[in-house]
Structure 1
Amino acid sequence: MKKIGIIVLILCMQITFAQVNRFVYQVTMKSDATNKNDVKTENAYLDISQDKSVFYSENRIKRDSIIQNTFQSGGARGFNRDQMESLRSNINYTIEKDKKNQKIYFKDRLGRDMYSYEEDRPLNWKILSETTKIGDYKVQKAETDFGGRKWTAWFTTDLPYQDGPYKFSGLPGLIIKVEDNLGDYSFDLMKNYKIAAFPTMNQFGNTIKVKRTDYIKQQKKFYADPASFMTQGGGGFAQTRIGGGGISGPRGNGGGNPADFRKRMEERVKDDAKKNSNPIELQ
């Protein structure tokens, strides 16, 4: 009986450690430099396990689910465009933190491919003595300069995670709230719960590994000429490609005119560029 009890305890521990803790943040953004009254708000997930964490938009996983179900039930002709439009996100990137190797990876789609880079700038925190309470958590203040902005964070040691939303991490506890001094961006913890495992995200095209500075150059090219990124080797840049499954043409347009699809895509990208003229990282 003693051996059985030990086995059960071990299994319970394995199940506990295998679980992923999901923290839901409300993200508030003033991403349009020409209209600071346009305040966008949406939820994002920070999923944490022993080995890694992933930060991404709640709408991203909802869109992925719809896409997956649509293709399984009959293909792109069954697409509900209004539903997809309602789930458009201002958080199109994904950030993964490798806890073992202390690495942060940023991923974002530019046209047909996913671009990925390793963050090369450290977060140097100044921990202050000021404390307060946010919700149920006792929190402590910390400050840092990152991406051309000054950030103030509030972290708690009540939760055993040295992590936080976006690229923020490295404090002695979980970041409950973080905002820049201009009030353009803020991340506020709303709730948390456990999930069985990290969700599987749809991966179309190739994943292209670049340096951070090269990603910024490619992003500027994409905003200027998005159509060139829909063809093989778009952007005219030599990269390391991982995996396959590339998109050979404008799929998902319901069999419409390719020229019309390209025009709509260019207009949308340029409109998005205008609406994101005040990015979270200024440099």
Structure 2
Amino acid sequence: MRKLGLLFLGICSQIVFAQANRFVYQVTMKPDSTDRNTIKTEIANLDIAAGNSIFYAENRLKRDSIMGRMRQTGNFNFDRTQMQNLRSNMDFIIEKDYKTGKKLYKARILRDQYAYEEDRPMDWKILPETVKIGDYKTQKAETQFGGRTWYAWFTSEVPFQDGPYKFSGLPGLIVKVEDSKGDYSFDLKESKKISEVASFDQRGSTIPLKRTAFEKQQEQFRKDPAAAVAVLSSSGGSFRIQMDPNQRKQMEDRQKEQIKKNNNPIELK
């Protein structure tokens, strides 16, 4: 009986280990510094399994799934209103490797997929203040990152030294983190077991580069999105064939409007 009991416990531990954990955060943002009354909210997930995690916007996953089905079926008829509603202010994916400590940031600029490894340390100062958030007893911590002062509340009751976005390195899961100006806030709303972490449809190869090079590329696009679209539409391939002048004009106008309304990024420097 003892052997059977140990075997049962071993099987149970394997099942638990094989499962993935999903932590669901509500993200509150003020992306337009000229209109602080406009507040955006989104749901984002932190999936953890086998010593790795991935952080992403739920809308990004939904859009990716729809686009994947369209490519598989060859049917590119879709509800434009639905796709517009699934646009995200967090159009990126962040992967963390617990063993190496590496954080990989992935994002697209138009059709190109880029990835860089975060090269800035996140040095935390743990503060004495404690507070109960939901079911968790949490402790406060502070760090300077990306040109902002951040306050986090973490719990040692959840044995993952991780959190939303690039935040990690505290002795427990980050339940809440916000910047001192109140521009961005991540609040844990739910946790659950899942069979596997989310996966995203990979189109083409990912271009690896340094963080500073990515930021330069991104800044060039922000300054002149029309030029980037023009280069893309004349670069050959199916994209050029499918995009007529009216479509290109609409895309340029949409990009300009999005950039105009998103002048308060989560990282200021």
Q: TM above 0.5, one fold?
A: yes
TM-score (norm. length: structure 2): 0.92
Structure 1 residues 204, 225: CA separation in 2 closer, same or farther (over 3 Å shift)?
A: farther
Q: Deviations over 1:7-61 (max 9, x none)?
A: 5543332221121100000000001111111110010000111321111001111
Query: Please, which runs of 5 or more residues in structure 1 have no aligned partner?
Result: 235-246
The residue aligned with 2:250 is 264
Which amino acid in 1 is paired with 2:119?
D
Residue 261 of structure 1 deviates from its aligned partner by 2.3
Query: Please, which runs of 5 or more residues in structure 2 have no aligned partner?
Result: none
Give the whole-Å Cα distance in 2 for the aligned partners of 1:203 and 1:64: 9
Which amino acid in 2 is paired with 1:117?
Y
Residue 6 of structure 1 deviates from its aligned partner by 4.9
Give the whole-Å Cα distance in 2 for the aligned partners of 1:48 and 1:221: 34
The residue aligned with 1:274 is 260
The residue aligned with 1:44 is 44
Which moved further from structure 2: 171-180 or 49-58? 49-58
Q: Deviations over 1:105-160 (max 9, x none)?
A: 11110011111100010000000111010111000000001000001100001111
The residue aligned with 1:250 is 239
The residue aligned with 1:11 is 11
Structure 2 residue 68 is the aligned partner of structure 1 residue 68: yes
Q: Deviations over 1:66-108 (max 9, x none)?
A: 22233344421x2111111111111101111111100111111
Give the whole-Å Cα distance in 1 for the aligned partners of 2:105 and 2:114: 8
Residue 250 of structure 1 deviates from its aligned partner by 2.4
Which amino acid in 2 is paired with 1:250?
F
Identity %: 57
Structure 1 residues 230, 51: CA separation in 2 closer, same or farther (over 3 Å shift)?
A: farther
Give the whole-Å Cα distance in 1 for the aligned partners of 2:73 and 2:205: 25
Give the whole-Å Cα distance in 2 for the aligned partners of 1:18 and 1:110: 35
Which amino acid in 2 is paired with 1:259?
P
Structure 1 residues 5, 57: CA separation in 2 closer, same or farther (over 3 Å shift)?
A: same
TM-score (norm. length: structure 1): 0.87
CA RMSD, 1 decimal: 2.3
Residue 275 of structure 1 deviates from its aligned partner by 1.4
Other structure's SS at 2:239 match: coil
The residue aligned with 2:210 is 211
The residue aligned with 2:183 is 184
Which moved further from structure 2: 112-121 or 261-270? 261-270
Kept after mapping to 1: 8 A contact 2:149/2:180: yes
Which amino acid in 2 is paired with 1:193?
K
The residue aligned with 1:242 is none
Other structure's SS at 1:151 match: strand
